[in-house]
């Protein structure tokens, strides 16, 4: 890597190329892959993007969805681009009437249930911020959500134990596998029993069907 002083001897184009290469090298292979996936949406004009999103919202209405579902992955890519372009502010297409406006970014409210729900609340699929804080969720949902999250927290924490904690249990690998199995069961409860109740209040809901820290993948969870 050239030092900063030496870089000023390069032409501006060459220096910019070096900085771009350095930036790209910091991206993970997965980041680059998703960027490649998103290229199709970047090629669309604002009206085409807005209409596709409005139509897709209608298609996913009335159901609970895994975060890993390919349709949700495509929508999430489009939603992030739409947020950058402020598509929903331009009123180029009308979302289905069942979707309320999210307070965080004024896009249609499409909430994501994650294991961190007590801290982050429901997460907006358009801007990535909290769209409904836990305390603002309907009271009918809060108790079940809190009980689930309090149970899941210690299970997930096993993946982040320090050396002292690992030594105390002796066979940490077995304890890790046990935690992964418990996480699979708890995530299945979330997707099969808890999040479906959200449909009484939101037109569609999404749940996080993996735990990368415990190496739990979507295909490990049967609902």
Query: pTM for the complete prediction?
Result: 0.83
Dist. CA 10–CA 16, nearest whole Å: 9
Strand, coil or helix: 86: coil
Number of neighbours of residue 143 by Cβ within 10 angstroms: 9
pLDDT of the residue at 28: 84
Structure tokens at 16: 């910019």
Domain-embedded: residue 11? no
Q: What is the pLDDT of residue 32?
A: 86
Of 6-10, 41-45, 99-103, 123-127, which gets the smallest average pLDDT?
6-10
**H runs (alpha helix) in 67-171:** 70-85, 117-120, 139-157, 163-169
- Does the residue 179 lie in any domain? yes
- Residue 20 inside a domain? The answer is no
Q: Which domain holds residue 140?
A: 27-220
pLDDT for residue 22: 42
Q: Is residue 3 part of a domain?
A: no
Whole-angstrom Cα distance, residue 48 to residue 89?
15
> Is residue 17 domain-resident?
no
First to last CA, the chain: 50
Residue 163 reports pLDDT greater than 80: yes
Q: In which region does residue 109 sit, left (phi positive, over 0), alpha (psi from -120 to 50) or beta (all else)? A: beta
- Asked whether the predicted pLDDT for residue 15 surpasses 90, the reply is no
**Which structure tokens are listed for 170?**
């002796």
| Rounded-to-integer distance, Cα 57 and Cα 62, Å | 10
User: Is 121 domain-assigned?
Assistant: yes
Q: Is 7 part of any domain?
A: no
Position 7 confidence tier, pLDDT thresholds 50, 70, 90 = very low
> DSSP strand E in 99-152: where?
111-113, 122-124, 130-132
State the total domains in the chain. 1
18 falls within a domain? no
Residue with tokens 């999404």: 206
Tokens 């729900």 -> residue: 117
């Amino acid at each position: 890597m050239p030092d900063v002083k030496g870089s000023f001897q390069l032409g501006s184009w060459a220096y910019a190329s070096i900085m771009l290469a350095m930036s790209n090298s910091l991206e993970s292979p997965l980041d680059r892959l998703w960027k490649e996936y998103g290229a199709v949406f970047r090629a669309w004009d604002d009206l085409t993007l807005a209409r596709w999103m409005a139509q897709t919202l209608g298609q996913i209405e009335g159901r609970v969805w895994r975060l890993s579902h390919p349709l949700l992955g495509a929508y999430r890519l489009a939603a992030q681009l739409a947020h950058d372009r402020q598509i929903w502010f331009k009123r180029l297409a009308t979302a289905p009437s069942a979707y309320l406006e999210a307070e965080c970014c004024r896009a249609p409210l499409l909430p994501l249930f994650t294991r961190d729900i007590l801290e982050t609340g429901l997460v907006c699929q358009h801007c990535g911020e909290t769209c409904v804080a836990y305390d603002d969720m309907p009271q009918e949902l809060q108790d079940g959500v809190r009980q689930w999250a309090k149970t899941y927290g210690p299970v997930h924490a096993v993946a982040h134990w320090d050396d002292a904690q690992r030594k105390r249990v002796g066979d940490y690998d077995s304890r890790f596998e046990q935690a992964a199995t418990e996480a699979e069961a708890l995530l299945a409860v979330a997707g099969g029993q808890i999040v479906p109740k959200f449909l009484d209040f939101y037109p569609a809901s999404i749940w996080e069907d993996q735990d990368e820290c415990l190496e739990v993948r979507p295909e490990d969870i049967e609902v």
